[in-house]
Amino acid sequence: MMKFSSTMTIQYDTIFSPFTAAQYLEALDWLRDSGFDAAEVCISHYRDLDVEGFKAELDRRGLACSNISTGQARTLEHITLLDDGETLERAQERLMEHIRAAKILDCKVTLGLIRGLGTPGKEREERTLLARNLEKVVDYAGQQRVKLILETINRYETALFNTVDSCMDFIERDLGNPECVGVHWDVFHANIEDRDFGEAIDRMGDRLMHVHLADSNRWFPGYGHLDFPAIFRLLKAAGFEDYCSFECFNLPSREAILAEAGRFIGEMKAVIR
């Protein structure tokens, strides 16, 4: 059975959560009370962060952690895997820290924009560079038995891995198809980039390890034109049983999301039952 999580943050506020970082305990209470199975947690760094304490708060509420979202470090500290020298080393070490935290939280680690934005027309060279810079991170993840999930993101935000095909090709050809690397598929981005959702899901196969939920306008599901029951039926037919996680703007309003998330989860569970 598919499981549900939602983006939350414990350090810096994010536009993808109806709760601020200071409200993270309230966020966990809401997740529990709304029928979620887990939290998708944004972590920028590990200075003064008590990972064990956070896990205890999850456990206290019967929640798991689906994955660690890693992109805030690129925005706040300007570190990516396409850099070199000390900046690259910081990005690599940060991902090692994420892997160690994921081991404690029993979750996956997202490789989103911390990989770098890329440059249009230089995808081949940057894929080669990224594969080289990821080598020790992937090796470490494999040793720790932690999954890294490479997120597909649309062309308006990055020049790298816009489609499922490009993401899978990178995993298979450039990375050598390691078992510890999968795909983090976001239906908002897919609506822009992937020609056919069914074909995309089939292409990923068992490498599909996480799904992001947002409507076509990045509002809460139901306020755009995506057919979520159809998407969930495709996921069920493919045998997907991992997390579907909300990462949408607080639109139409924070209050609407807080009130409607539980209903949406119930409706989608009925679709895939």
pLDDT in tens, 230-269: 999 999 999 999 999 999 999 999 999 999 999 999 999 9
pLDDT the model gives residue 197: 99
Q: What is the pLDDT of residues 178-216, one digit of tens each?
A: 999 999 999 999 999 999 999 999 999 999 999 999 999
Q: Work out the angle between the directed axes of helices 51-60 and 85-105 (0-180°, nearest 10).
A: 30
Return the pLDDT at 98. 99
Quickly state the pLDDT bin for 92 (edges 50, 70, 90): very high
What mean pLDDT comes out for the span 101-122? 97
> Per-residue confidence at 225, pLDDT binned at 50, 70, 90?
very high
Q: Which residues contact 268 (CB under 8 A, 6 or more apart)?
A: 2, 4, 228, 229, 232, 244
What integer is the mean pLDDT of 110-134? 96
Instruction: For residue 48, name the pLDDT band (cuts at 50, 70, 90).
Output: very high
pLDDT at 5: 99
For residues 130-151, average pLDDT:
99
Per-residue pLDDT, averaged over 157-174, amounts to 98
Structure tokens at 193: 């980039």
Q: How many CB atoms lie within 10 A of CB 121?
A: 9
Residues 79-104, mean pLDDT to the nearest whole number = 98
- Predicted local confidence at residue 205, as pLDDT: 98
Query: Mean pLDDT across the chain, nearest whole number?
Result: 98
What Rg value do the Cα atoms of the chain yield, rounded? Answer: 17
Give the model's pLDDT for residue 31. 99
CB atoms within 10 A of CB 68: 23
Q: With pLDDT > 70 as the criterion, what percentage of the chain qualifies? A: 100
| Percent of residues, the chain, with pLDDT higher than 90 | 100
> What pLDDT, on the 0 to 100 scale, is given for residue 199?
98
User: pLDDT at position 251, please?
Assistant: 98
pLDDT band at 36 (very low <50, low <70, confident <90, very high): very high
What topology does CATH give the domain 3-272? TIM Barrel (3.20.20)
Residue 117: closest CA among 164, 153, 87: 153
